[in-house]
């Protein structure tokens, strides 16, 4: 077998790409050698070689070439997002003529631009990633073109007369790229789909799913597989499951929810015995058993992986699973039997461990939802038990009240743990029958939302702990702490406010929580919260558990939404395998090359690939949702051009400020030229624009009056003109006046809140197993009952035992370093005017 050095030497000597087969021949390796293919795959993975579009190999480091992905910009230039994670390279508009957004390329560094930023030129296109795109079909005096809806693509697609199909001028179409662009020629394509007129109801969604390449049609095989599934739970499905149909489990969701992943039940129990006897709760979280119906490698699984998540738009959802499963067989609808994977927990109500899960177990079950309730109804029933909502759900009201008492204890433990809680305003778009915005209203989260959120968090942490203790690989939901760069930027900003962040070089979530708590009554509290939130990293999926910083958990995963999230489905498969004493290994991805190394290393690489894929598809879904919302808001604001509104500065950049209207919750840009007749300097660390002559400052959270000046539906851009504003100087004076009125000086530093006490070794469900003809039951001793012990109104249907774990000292698990800044575990509930001059060779810049 030739060494890596021999392979590199041959490629270096050849100085041209060589096909793997030819390379093997020159090195005297037998054709199809598995060992040789693995070595080449390892070298490609390690960045030593790479493949071009024809599959030939070349040196990745040849002439210091840099591989990466092209990211286009609406102004025509672009960037190379490097594979090695180093600083991006600027690509000029001239270089971008050769490629489309998303292409993989090889770039030579050419130095720095006038701003000192690294710049490059494209040497070779390694892979074309854009083969289809959506856009407006235009007839420019007999020249047919498609103008892409994606503003990151500045090429017009030329369409020969024989390839226009039934498309008419101005319609939205999908075009297939026949010839890719070069520096001297525009791309050539043919119309393959006519979507309709730009103002057709729902067109913004049709555009978004194609613009962001969101899978929106299930394969014929997946639909056929779904049709073969039964419409209800069968007798054969009950084998090996605990019967919880007599347990009054209920669902609590939004009024417009259609897929129900989870049901909950809570009852008071006595934990311990004798002098150690204390009150507590038993919490059951039953999650739809999607893994029973969607098996690894089948057509449903392939489509679910490709989507990775359901995509939510106003008035429409693109589900991860076909409707027969998402709204039917897997959805925990009321008054029907459903299969579930259950997390059964015991939570102390008092003492040092109050609000922390002391013991848990997972088992397969069959359940029967006793009520479909809503957040509004539950909150109304809790506030007024004798009211209409209380009377409607009188049968389950006692357990709803127990859930609320449990929530209070869980919330206290959350605060003691130091989890970060950002008080942000979420909005909901209310649409009319045509799908256009009727109003934008704040989304009010009452305590019923928080009850379910805490229950889901508890189940998710148990799932993560189960995987961690079992040393079984899986996907964790990780959230690392702020980078050193972001941390230093935040500390520099806090100094300007007379504040500081505790924790030294590695602050904990509790340090951030203490900082926010100490400043919650300050006039600039919204500014502080915004800056703190922006210092956070993005949460993602990974097989390497580094904890969840924002939630302050040492281990966290997603378990509670397998109908709409693929990582949750993977977690279910892991847990079900562990319960059966087995091991789950995911199927290899088709596009994933053979990875050399041990079986353990190959398995880890596969989980890592799944984590990256699910994280990327999650961002893709978010981008598509934001694009639709931006389109709808632009359409809505066209009726308000010329109107004046009060607003708050929610973003500051060198070219202007972004203002969110207080009444309409719509964001627009006030260009720097609208701020005044002087030069404004942008301070990145302070997030402010300051006038050189007057010293006038515009900063995050400043209040301003703006007029709607222009709306561009095509670019999803709203522009405001400044009418008047309150500068940051006025806010500083208000703070000083308030500080002067205080008898004691304001605190300048923040101390970390002590973390919650952790359960001792051995406090858990012991070795008891539910079995016989009785179901699982929580007892005063905080252990599983002996064989045959009764369960409150439950009855078993199978003989299989449930696997439990001992929840020992969780401080032994590595401290989490990462978190979702604002966790939400429940379900969420362009017109081009004028004709363009014909151009056969050059793309033109559009506004």
**CB-based contacts of 223, cutoff 8 Å, min separation 6:** 322
CA-CA distances (angstroms) from residue 127 to 46, 99, 614? 19, 10, 22
Q: What is the mean pLDDT of residues 448-477?
A: 97
Residues 6+ apart with CB under 8 A from 634: 711, 712, 713, 716, 717, 718, 830
Contacts of 73 (CB under 8 A, 6+ apart): 79, 152
- 827 band by pLDDT with thresholds 50, 70 and 90: very low
Residue 646 falls inside a structural domain: yes
Average pLDDT over residues 761-782: 36
Is residue 280 within 8 A of residue 270, CB to CB? The reply is: yes
- Spell out the long-range contacts of 821-825 with Cβ–Cβ below 8 A and sequence spacing 24 or more: 821/420, 821/422, 821/479, 821/533, 821/536, 821/539, 821/550, 822/422, 822/424, 822/533, 822/550, 823/453, 823/457, 823/550, 823/551, 824/453, 825/452, 825/453, 825/456, 825/457, 825/460, 825/560, 825/561
Instruction: Name the 3-class secondary structure at 828.
Output: coil
Residue 521 lies in a domain: no
Q: Answer for the pair 504, 479: CB distance below 8 angstroms, yes or no.
A: no
CATH (domain of 158): 2.40.50.700
Higher pLDDT: 730 or 642? It is: 642
CA 816 from centroid of its chain's CA atoms: 19
**Residue 531 domain-assigned (yes or no):** no
Q: Residue 114 has what pLDDT? A: 72
Given a contact cutoff of 8 angstroms between Cβ atoms, the answer to whether 351 and 278 are in contact is yes
Distance CA 497, CA 495 (A): 5
Q: Do 649 and 725 fall within a single domain?
A: yes
Same domain, 83 and 140: no
| Tally of structural domains, the chain | 4
Under 8 Å CB-to-CB from 620, ≥6 apart: which residues?
212, 213, 214
pLDDT recorded at residue 765: 42
Q: What is the CA radius of gyration of the chain?
A: 29
pLDDT for 103: 93
β-strands 242-243, 359-368 pairing: parallel
Q: For the ranges 124-133, 330-339, 629-638, 833-842, which has the lowest average pLDDT?
A: 833-842
Question: What pLDDT, in 10s, does the model give residues 86-117?
Answer: 889 999 999 999 999 999 988 888 888 777 78
Report residue 453 CA to chain centroid gap. 16
Mean pLDDT, the chain, integer: 84
Is residue 291 within 8 A of residue 576, CB to CB? The reply is yes
Banded model confidence at residue 725, pLDDT cuts 50, 70, 90 = low
Give the range of the structural domain holding residue 91, as residue numbers without chain letter: 4-127
3-state SS assignment for residue 647: strand
Q: Among residues 67, 97, 127, which one ends one of the domains? A: 127
Residues 144 and 243 in one domain: no
**pLDDT at residue 592, as a whole number:** 56
Asked, for residue 486, whether it belongs to a domain, the answer is no
Predicted pLDDT of residue 496: 83
Last residue of a domain, one of 109, 127, 145: 127
382 neighbors 401 (Cβ within 8 angstroms): yes
Of 168, 198, 228, the residue at which a domain comes to its end is 198
Beta carbons of 131 and 695 less than 8 angstroms apart? no
Is the pLDDT at 4 greater than 80? The verdict is no
Length of the chain: 847
Q: Please give the Cα distance from 358 to 344 (Å, whole number).
A: 11
Same-domain check for residues 563 and 661:
no
- What residues does 125 pair with on adjacent strands? 105
Do residue 137 and residue 244 come from a single domain? no
Tokens 């400020």 found at: 657
Tell me whether residue 36 is in a domain. yes
Distance CA 113, CA 660 (A): 34
User: Same domain for 115 and 139?
Assistant: no
- Each residue of 248-305: pLDDT tens digit? 999 999 998 888 999 999 999 999 887 788 999 999 999 999 999 999 999 999 999 9
Tell whether 681 and 775 lie within a shared domain: no
Contact 177, 132 (CB under 8 A): yes
d(CA 727, CA 699): 8
What confidence category does residue 321 fall into, taking pLDDT thresholds of 50, 70 and 90?
Answer: very high
Euclidean distance between CA atoms 564 and 35, whole angstroms: 40
As to burial, measured by CB atoms within 10 angstroms (0-12 exposed, 13-18 middle, 19+ buried), residue 343 is buried
Same domain, 144 and 193: yes
Q: Averaging pLDDT over each range in 19-23, 332-336, 817-821, which range is the top one?
A: 332-336
Residue 91 located in a structural domain? yes
Based on the fold, state whether residues 727 and 761 are members of the same structural domain. no
Residues 75, 174 within the same domain = no
Is 751 among the domain residues? no
Do 156 and 66 belong together in one domain?
Answer: no
- As a whole-number percent, the residues of the chain with pLDDT over 70 amount to 84
| Sign of the dihedral through C-alpha 82, 88, 94, 97 | positive
Tell me the pLDDT band of 332, cut-offs 50, 70 and 90. Answer: very high
H-type alpha helices, 15-146: 20-27, 34-45, 93-96
Distance (Å, whole) CA 535 – CA 533: 5
- Asked if the structure places residue 85 within a domain, the reply is yes
Q: Which of 10-19, 168-177, 437-446 has the highest mean pLDDT?
A: 168-177
Q: Are residues 577 and 474 in the same domain?
A: yes
In Å, how far are 151, 363, 673, 685, 715 from 654, measured between CA atoms?
21, 56, 11, 12, 20
CATH number, residue 699: 2.40.50.140
Assess whether pLDDT exceeds 80 at residue 595.
no
């Amino acid at each position: 077998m030739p060494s890596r050095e021999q392979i590199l030497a041959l490629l270096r000597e050849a100085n041209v790409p060589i096909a793997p087969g030819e390379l093997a021949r020159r090195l005297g390796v037998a054709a199809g050698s598995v060992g040789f293919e693995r070595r080449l795959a390892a070298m490609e993975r390690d960045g030593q070689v790479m493949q071009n579009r024809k599959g030939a190999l070349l040196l990745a480091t040849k002439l210091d070439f840099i591989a990466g992905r092209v990211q286009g910009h609406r102004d025509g230039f672009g960037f190379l997002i490097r594979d090695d994670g180093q600083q991006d390279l600027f690509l000029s508009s001239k270089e971008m003529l050769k490629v489309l957004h998303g292409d993989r390329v090889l770039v030579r560094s050419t130095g720095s631009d006038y701003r000192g930023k690294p710049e490059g030129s494209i040497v070779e296109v390694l892979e074309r990633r854009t083969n289809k795109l959506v856009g407006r079909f235009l007839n420019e005096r007999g020249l047919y073109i498609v103008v892409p809806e994606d503003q990151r693509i500045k090429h017009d697609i030329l369409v020969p007369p024989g390839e226009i199909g039934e498309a008419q001028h101005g319609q939205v179409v999908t075009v297939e790229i026949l010839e890719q662009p070069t520096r001297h020629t525009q791309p050539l394509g043919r119309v393959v789909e006519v979507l309709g007129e730009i103002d057709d109801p729902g067109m913004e969604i049709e555009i978004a799913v194609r613009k962001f390449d969101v899978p929106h049609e299930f394969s014929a095989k997946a639909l056929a597989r779904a049709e073969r599934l039964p419409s209800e739970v069968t007798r054969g499905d009950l084998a090996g499951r605990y019967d919880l149909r007599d347990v009054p489990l209920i669902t609590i969701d939004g009024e417009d929810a259609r897929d129900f992943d989870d049901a909950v039940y809570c009852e008071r129990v006595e934990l311990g015995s004798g002098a150690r006897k204390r009150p507590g709760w038993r919490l059951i979280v039953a999650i739809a058993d999607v893994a029973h119906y969607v098996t690894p490698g089948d057509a449903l699984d392939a489509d679910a992986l490709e989507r990775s998540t359901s995509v939510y738009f106003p008035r429409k959802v693109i589900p991860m699973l076909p409707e027969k499963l998402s709204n039917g067989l897997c959805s925990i609808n009321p008054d029907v039997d459903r299969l579930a994977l259950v997390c059964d927990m015991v939570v102390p109500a008092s003492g040092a461990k109050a609000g922390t899960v002391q013991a848990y177990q997972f088992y397969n079950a069959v359940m029967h939802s006793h009520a479909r309730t809503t957040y509004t109804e539950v909150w109304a029933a809790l506030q007024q038990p004798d009211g209409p909502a209380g009377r409607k759900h009188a049968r389950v009201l006692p357990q709803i009240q127990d859930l609320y008492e449990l929530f209070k204890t869980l919330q206290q433990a959350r605060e003691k743990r130091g989890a970060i809680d950002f008080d942000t305003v979420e909005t909901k778009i209310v649409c009319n029958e045509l799908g256009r915005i009727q109003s934008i209203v704040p989304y009010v989260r009452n305590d019923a939302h928080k009850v379910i959120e805490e229950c889901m968090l508890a189940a998710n942490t148990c799932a993560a702990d189960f995987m961690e203790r079992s040393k079984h690989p899986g996907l964790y939901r990780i959230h690392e702490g702020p980078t050193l760069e972001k941390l230093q930027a935040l500390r520099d900003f806090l100094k300007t406010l007379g504040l500081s962040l505790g924790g030294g070089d590695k602050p904990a979530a509790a340090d951030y929580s203490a900082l926010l708590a100490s400043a919650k009554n300050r006039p600039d509290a919204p500014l502080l919260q915004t800056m703190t939130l922006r210092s956070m990293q993005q949460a993602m999926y990974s097989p390497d558990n580094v904890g969840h910083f924002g939630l302050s958990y040492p281990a966290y995963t997603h378990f509670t939404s397998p109908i709409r999230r693929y990582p949750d489905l993977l977690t279910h498969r892991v847990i079900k395998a562990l319960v059966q004493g087995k091991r789950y290994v995911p199927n290899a991805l088709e596009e994933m090359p053979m990875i050399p190394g041990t079986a353990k290393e190959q398995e880890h690489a596969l989980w890592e690939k799944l984590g990256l894929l699910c994280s990327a598809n999650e961002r893709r879904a978010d981008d598509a949702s934001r694009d639709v919302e931006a389109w709808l808001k632009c359409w809505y604001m066209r009726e308000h051009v010329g109107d004046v509104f009060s607003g708050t500065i929610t973003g500051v950049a060198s070219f202007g400020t972004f203002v969110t209207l207080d009444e309409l919750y719509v964001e627009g840009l006030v260009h720097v030229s609208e701020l005044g007749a002087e030069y404004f300097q942008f301070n990145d660390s302070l997030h402010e624009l300051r006038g050189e002559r007057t010293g006038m400052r515009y900063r995050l959270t400043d209040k301003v009056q703006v007029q709607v000046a222009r709306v561009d539906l095509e670019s999803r851009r709203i522009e405001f003109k400044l009418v008047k504003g309150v500068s940051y100087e006025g806010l500083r004076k208000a703070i000083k006046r308030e500080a002067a009125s205080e008898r004691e000086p304001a605190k300048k530093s923040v101390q970390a809140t002590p973390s919650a006490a952790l359960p001792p070794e051995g406090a858990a469900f012991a070795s008891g197993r539910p079995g016989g003809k009785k179901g699982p039951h929580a007892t005063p001793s905080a252990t599983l009952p002996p064989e045959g012990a009764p369960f409150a109104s439950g009855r078993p249907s199978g003989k299989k035992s449930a696997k439990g774990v001992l929840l020992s000292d969780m401080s032994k698990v590595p401290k989490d370093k990462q978190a979702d800044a604002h966790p939400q575990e429940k379900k969420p509930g362009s017109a081009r005017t004028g004709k363009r001059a014909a151009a056969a060779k050059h793309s033109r810049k559009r506004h």
